[in-house]
Amino acid sequence: MMNVAKDSLRIDQTRLRADFEALAQIGATRDGGVHRPALGEAHLAARAWFRERAEADGLGFRTDGAGNHSACLACGPPGAPILLLGSHLDSVPRGGRYDGALGVLAALEVLRVVQETGLALPVHLEAIDFTDEEGTLVGLLGSAALAGTLDPDELRQPRGGREVLAAGFARAGLTDESVLGVRRDPATLAGYLELHVEQGARLVDAGVDVGVVTGIVGYCSYRLTFTGQANHAGTTSMAERADAAQGACAFTLRARELVMADYAGGVVNVGDMHFSPGAYNIIPGAVALALEFRSPEAETLDRLEADLLALAREQAATFGLGLEVAWQGRCEPALLDARVQSLIAQAADGLGLSHVSLPSGAGHDAQSLARVCPAGMLFVPSVGGVSHSPDEFTRWADCVNGANVLLQTVLRWARLDSNANLTDEY
Ligand code: HGY
Ligand code: MN
Ligand code: MN
């Protein structure tokens, strides 16, 4: 097929829409979102649906010891490297229907278009759904395992709790050993591409169709437990209290001040706080909080980590409290391959779509893959910039644009040379 014919190839948007609507019913919440935390029943049901679709479409299917699920198309010569396309089907608790799902479904659609047009490429294609991108358990679990960068300590003290992890592994038939054993030889990977909703408002505010992602933020998680003394809320004078809530809440407020004052481009979040014993009339003896902070640079992430832990110790001392600090994982920031960015931009140009280069403040599986192969990502606009919420919304025309850019980027990548090797002539 001539390149000009390939340039005219488009995804089947009716088929993609049918998949999108069907998938959104799995784990659907009444307010229009989805609740599919990693390796929970709804997530496993979504994976079963994905497998059914792949096999019904005549595609190959594979899964691995980390539970990653893939539709496969052997469209290259024997022994050809694999160009991975994908994202994740798990969601945050009570999240949106686009985050991750669009990328997996668009990847599946690209394989179907290549399959039905009978295109022979220098690479095989694989549409992958990575396990636990969202960090209900660990964060980027499946992609880090595949890249061989998963830290075993993150399975020993996962941010979602060891019990939750073990229950999820049991449901999915996984073990720590099976997860740690799935590393792919980078020589077998031509590269990785991911379509994702922006989860921010830059594209929609600028009226731009496509974001070409330049880099992805790094993030680190801690569980901090401020410990005081549970006591009677009525008979204990204010001066003699060892009130764990005071330390936890003062830390939360001052962490925000610190980052806003000293870390432009950094963010901090306390996403959960648990008081114990937890009653109106008991001074909290302990308060555990879930701390996450992010920066686009690894060195800045290190400094932010040191500053936040020092602040926690300071607030504990101020209120006469103990402090337990539990590291819960870290995902390194990543720059995405400039040559892949160029292919994405060319594909958008070829489709008459406007595009802009921008960094990602959200974490993505592409940051795992970027450690071992050329990786690229493209965004489509999020209306109102909302995400990790049932109100997450992307216009269907933008979803179709994103899937077509993904398809055209694959076709451009595949015509580079006989092995789809990226050259530096971009
Ligand atoms: O949390 C994130 O940044 C991503 O959505 N997992
Ligand atoms: Mn995502
Ligand atoms: Mn997400």
What pLDDT digit, counting tens, does each position of 148-167 carry? 999 999 999 999 999 999 99
Of the three residues 331, 348, 370, the one that is the final residue of a domain is 331
At 425, is the pLDDT very low, low, confident or very high (cuts 50, 70, 90)?
A: very low
From 287, 304, 331, the end of a domain falls on: 331
SS3 string of 226-285? EECCCEECCCCCHHHCCCHHHHHHHHHHHHHHHHHHHCCCCEEEEEEEEEECCCCCEECC
- Cα(402) to centroid of ligand 2, in Å? 15
Boundaries of domain holding 16: 6-216+333-420
- For residues 54 and 25, membership in a common domain is answered with yes
Q: Are residues 320 and 379 in the same domain?
A: no
Whether 182 and 145 map to the same domain: the answer is: yes
Tell me, yes or no, whether 64 lies in a domain. Answer: yes
1 within domain boundaries: no
300 CB-contact burial (10 Å; exposed 0-12 / middle 13-18 / buried 19+) = middle
Whose CA is closest to atom 6 on ligand 1?
134
Closest CA to 362 of 260, 182, 158, 211: 211
Residues with CB under 6 A from ligand 1: 133-134, 362-363
95 beta partners: 34
Q: Using one digit for the tens of pLDDT, what is the confidence trace for 387-413?
A: 999 999 999 999 999 999 999 999 999
Question: Is residue 261 in a domain?
Answer: yes
Mean pLDDT to the nearest integer, 114-131: 96
Q: Domain of 414: which CATH number?
A: 3.40.630.10
For residue 423, how far is its CA from the centre of ligand 2 (angstroms)?
Answer: 29
Same domain, 277 and 351: no
Q: Is residue 408 part of a domain?
A: yes
Boundary (domain end) residue, out of 331, 347, 371? 331
Give the per-residue pLDDT at 426. 35
Residue 415: predicted pLDDT:
81
Cα 32 from chain centroid (whole Å): 21
Q: Look at residue 175 in the predicted model and tell me its pLDDT.
A: 98
Domain-located, residue 426: no
- Of all residues in the chain, what percent carry a pLDDT higher than 90? 94
Inter-CA distances, 7 with 185, 199, 258, 323, 366, Å: 32, 29, 50, 59, 25
Instruction: Give yes or no for residue 10 having a pLDDT over 70.
Output: yes
Based on the fold, state whether residues 365 and 325 are members of the same structural domain: no
The answer to whether residues 386 and 338 belong to one domain is: yes
- In this structure, the answer to whether residues 355 and 322 fall within a common structural domain is no
Do both 160 and 224 map to the same domain? Answer: no
pLDDT of residue 421: 63
Residue to probe by mutation, ligand 1, list 34, 92, 198, most atoms within 8 Å of CB: 92
Q: Classify residue 293: in a domain, yes or no.
A: yes
- To test the pocket of ligand 1, the residue of 102, 199, 368, 379 to mutate (highest count of ligand atoms within 8 Å of its CB) is 199
Does residue 31 sit in the same domain as residue 123? yes
**The length of the chain, given as a count of residues:** 426
- Determine the pLDDT at residue 261: 98
In a domain, 425, yes or no: no
CATH number, domain with residue 303: 3.30.70.360
For the CA of 91, the nearest ligand: 3
Average pLDDT rounded to a whole number, residues 123-147: 97
- Number of structural domains in the chain: 2
Give the position, in ligand 1's atom list, of the atom nearest the Cα of 135. 6
User: Which tens digits make up the pLDDT trace of 133-142?
Assistant: 999 999 999 9
113 and 18 in a common domain: yes
Residues 212-227 have a mean pLDDT of 97
**Are residue 182 and residue 199 in the same domain, yes or no?**
yes
Shortest-distance atom of ligand 1 to CA 219: 3
Going from the Cα of 323 to the center of ligand 1, the distance in angstroms, rounded, reads 27
Mean pLDDT of 170-197: 98
Domain presence at residue 39:
yes
Task: Give the mean pLDDT of the chain.
Answer: 96
Sheet with 322-331: strands ordered across: 267-276, 286-295, 218-227, 322-331
49 pLDDT higher than 70? yes
Residue with CA nearest ligand 1 atom 4: 363
Same-domain status, 187 and 66: yes
- Label residues 75-86 b or e (16+ Cβ within 10 Å = b): bbeeebbbbbbb
Q: Is the pLDDT of residue 14 over 90?
A: yes
